[in-house]
Structure 1
Amino acid sequence: MFKYNLMHHWRSLVSGVETKIPLKNGQMTTYINFDNAATTPPLLSVLEEVVAFSPWYSSIHRGTGYKSQLSSDRYEKSRELIGHFVGADLEKNTVIFLKNATEAINKLSYRLSNQSPNPVVLSSFMEHHSNDLPWRDKYRVDYVDIKENGCLSLEDLEHKLIHYKGEVKLVAITGASNVTGCKNPINRIANIVHQYGAQLLVDGAQLIPHAPFYMSSSNPLENPDYLVFSAHKMYAPFGIGVLIAPKDVFRQGPPEYVGGGTVELVTHDHIKWADVPNREEAGSPNILGVVALTAAMKTLNEIGMEHIDRHEQSLTRYTLEKLNSISDITVYGDMTLKNRVGIISFNIEGLTHDLVAKILSDEGGIAVRNGCFCAQPYVQRLLGIPPDEVEKRKEDPTLFHPGMVRVSFGFYNTYREIDIFISLLKRIIQYKGYYVKKYTNHH
């Protein structure tokens, strides 16, 4: 009973979880959101804080009005709260606000490209496109391989660091996969990377909202150098991303976006750039986004990231046990993996991923995601698609694109929702022919 009451309380913290939606047959049902890896619903505390702050909203920095001073103070103090949430050393590091994690990685890719000739960046086979594409046009890029279970091969990481003989300047690795949920051992990876004179970027978009994470430990070799994450994946959908990085890195060279707020002194012949982080935040900043993110972090801290991690892992184990008992379902990645976030990708034999996702939505009001999840090389590898098949799709874009169905949990999801989901999956499998005919005729 205690556990139920605790889950019920957590659920009451999130906006929209009891929303009724229409099914294909016209009946109404409570929406089940298993698409949290894409974005999360807002916390009520976030919405309340944004509304409460709105009367005090004003342009920050250099304004002498009371509201401007108050807004400026709130904006700058938020960097400290955010840094503490992830255990960053704010004496050494700066907190830079951007639109999202993708923009944060792009910003870093521009800054580092100016600091050494023809450097090598190691990404990996399990990366989201946002931690792959920004490096390609500015660096020599190679990819750390994965093991059979879909997780990163630390042996191949070290092999490639040795192979490039000190030319690797950065290793860019996801904290947790948005396809298989696999968590990477960041401290071990940092230790390896630093032994070979490189730095480590952690894409924390799928990790920071779901598990405790600390950038600083007693062993500096085990600490990542850069961290990015997005507010909209941690219950604060107001358009803010965060890059935490060493101050010294961003004091070298001009920012890639320039304009208001980035300078201290300008003449027609001279520019004196502002200090970090202001020089990296051109234009009027999104202070409401910052207010939203800090409000979300306060609530997540009150719940406890350890409790969130434990609950979501329990939901994941429960779901995997149920899926494992159903014939015709293939789960990708390691089903026995204990160190993971609440993400599971699967397919049903004989049904396309898009059809399964549509049936779940139309017949059960269950939101999942399908496709390649902006991680096409990883999904192609997990599906075992040979290179010549990929080439065919390059030449003929009308060919069907392989993919998977993904469920992803938030701390507010429940075992009952999973039971509803599993029950519908069993029905889909039992009546495959009926559903294929129904949806083919419909289109």
Structure 2
Amino acid sequence: MRLLMSKASYRNLVIGVDTLVPLHNGQQVTAINFDNAATTPPLVRVMEEINAFAPYYSSIHRGAGYKSALSSEKFEEARQTVLDFVGADSRKDTAIFVKNATEAINKLAFRLCSGSDEQKSRFSPEKKGVVLSTSMEHHSNDLPWRGRFALDYVEIDQWGRLHLSDLENKLQKYAGRVKLVTVSGASNVTGYVNPVHRIAETAHKYGAKIMVDGSQLIPHLPFDMREHGSKRHIDYLVFSAHKMYAPFGTGVLIGPKDTFVPGDPDITGGGTVQVVTHEDVIWNPPPAKEEAGTPNLMGVVALDAAIKTLRGIGMDNIGRHEKDLADYLLKGMKSIPHLDIYVRETGDERLGIIPFNVRGIFHETMAGVMAGEAGIAIRNGCFCAHPYIHRLLKVPNMDIVRMINSPGEQKPGMVRVSFGLYNERREVDVLLSLLEKVSRNRRMYLRKYS
């Protein structure tokens, strides 16, 4: 059921929007959070659901008491909520609850590397199984694949967008040896939304499967994994609750049940087994096999409440609102001197993420200016996507090597604004006003904050 409300009332759904924070001069202002790509504040409904459920909290599965039975029911209902939210097929797919998207990707990498003999033959480096990642990925969708598979990267253009022609070229080059294409649904640096269903169709044409890192995409736009018979079906999907207004440390890995039946789990222990002797183990079927130990029930309850709230608002409404904020910011930035903006103003489908630098001011210093002068929280650095940032900044490899060997040297990076559903134009106006002042008085702010 949709929640009928204006954009202004979105703000009332989120906790902490009126929190006061101190400035450099000791005064206090209402905080402005433009760091939503890193993590989002909790929804009011999430905290209400947590507090309402807390008296009934108990260990799930196998408990005969009322609280345990209720907890088990809530846990499994949340699993179905997750599957329905992204258009997964509960008859064929499973949703595995983990800590975050990073753990989900590591779990899938382990499973594909250590599963059945058929999986091992298809994915192991010794058999020259290839995983194609891309040059725009977060480290979490790069590092888990290293060492387990032959890994290659789809190239990007000068603006950081994927070269889909390079994807097809590499699929042709490896002649059927690519077993998985793994790609972010949207970049955490530039906000570019990748055409993942088109990528899926290309991957499937060459016999490969696809995994989408939905960490940035799922909280901001509608998403559908599509039916299993479709050429554009998404085989695997991961995302994190803490980026969709549900703290408490939960992530999700969705994929075919058949993937998780063979082989041992990456983490073993209580809850993963049917029978254990000193000589033998019979594992539970998935998803229980992949959820060792007492699960994070509160985190799952929080995610369930967040999804129901987002679905009530309408993901299309959220996407339009955040795009409006991004367009408004980019338009305002055009007239401010000394700004380097690392996305194009028009022509690309993007989330509400804008990376930039003020010439002559180190990115870390600029983030300090934003916080100290106006209470604005933004992210600075390389956003756990070093290769992508280095490419966008055109940093030569020799400079990167020198920086690695010189720990005290200032590292390249950017500052990043990222919007949430509760942000407003008046907050963007505060940012634009400060950027105007800083760009025209750079020396003063450098003296003040260096």
TM-score (norm 1): 0.97
The 5-angstrom pairing of residues 293-308 of structure 1 reads: 293-308=303-318
The 5-angstrom pairing of residues 415-426 of structure 1 reads: 415-426=425-436
Hey, what does 1:202 align to over in structure 2? 212
SS in 1 for 2:35: coil
The question of 1:369 aligning with 2:379 is answered yes
List alignment gaps of at least 5 residues for structure 2.
none
What is the aligned residue count? 436
The question of 1:171 aligning with 2:162 is answered no
The 5-angstrom pairing of residues 211-222 of structure 1 reads: 211-217=221-227, 220-222=230-232
CA distance in 2, matches of 1:269, 1:139: 32
SS in 2 for 1:12: helix
- How far does residue 334 in structure 1 lie from its aligned partner after superposition? 2.4
Hey, what does 2:252 align to over in structure 1? 242
CA distance in 2, matches of 1:325, 1:181: 22
Render the CA deviation track for 1:251-283: whole Å, top value 9, x for unaligned.
Answer: 011111000000001111111000110000000
Q: Among 411, 419, 438, which residue is 1:401 paired with?
A: 411
Hey, what does 1:10 align to over in structure 2? 10
Partner amino acid, structure 1, of 2:256: P
Q: Among 337, 343, 348, which residue is 2:353 paired with?
A: 343
SS in 2 for 1:105: helix
CA distance in 2, matches of 1:427, 1:293: 41
- How far does residue 219 in structure 1 lie from its aligned partner after superposition? 6.0
Render the CA deviation track for 1:218-262: whole Å, top value 9, x for unaligned.
Answer: 861101100000000000011000000110000011111000000
The question of 1:102 aligning with 2:102 is answered yes
Hey, what does 1:184 align to over in structure 2? 194
SS in 2 for 1:182: coil
SS in 2 for 1:228: strand
- How far does residue 400 in structure 1 lie from its aligned partner after superposition? 0.8
Residue identity over aligned pairs, in percent, reads 55
Say whether the 8 Å CA contact 2:337–2:440 is kept in structure 1.
no
- How far does residue 398 in structure 1 lie from its aligned partner after superposition? 1.5
The range that moved more, 14-23 or 337-346, is 337-346
CA distance in 1, matches of 2:142, 2:331: 33
Partner amino acid, structure 2, of 1:346: F
Say whether the 8 Å CA contact 2:212–2:234 is kept in structure 1.
yes
Partner amino acid, structure 1, of 2:12: S
CA distance in 2, matches of 1:218, 1:95: 15
Hey, what does 1:130 align to over in structure 2? 140
Hey, what does 2:52 align to over in structure 1? 52
Say whether the 8 Å CA contact 1:225–1:245 is kept in structure 2.
yes
CA distance in 2, matches of 1:178, 1:258: 32
Say whether the 8 Å CA contact 2:368–2:449 is kept in structure 1.
no
The range that moved more, 175-184 or 390-399, is 390-399
SS in 1 for 2:270: coil
Say whether the 8 Å CA contact 1:182–1:337 is kept in structure 2.
no
Hey, what does 1:29 align to over in structure 2? 29
CA distance in 2, matches of 1:219, 1:274: 28
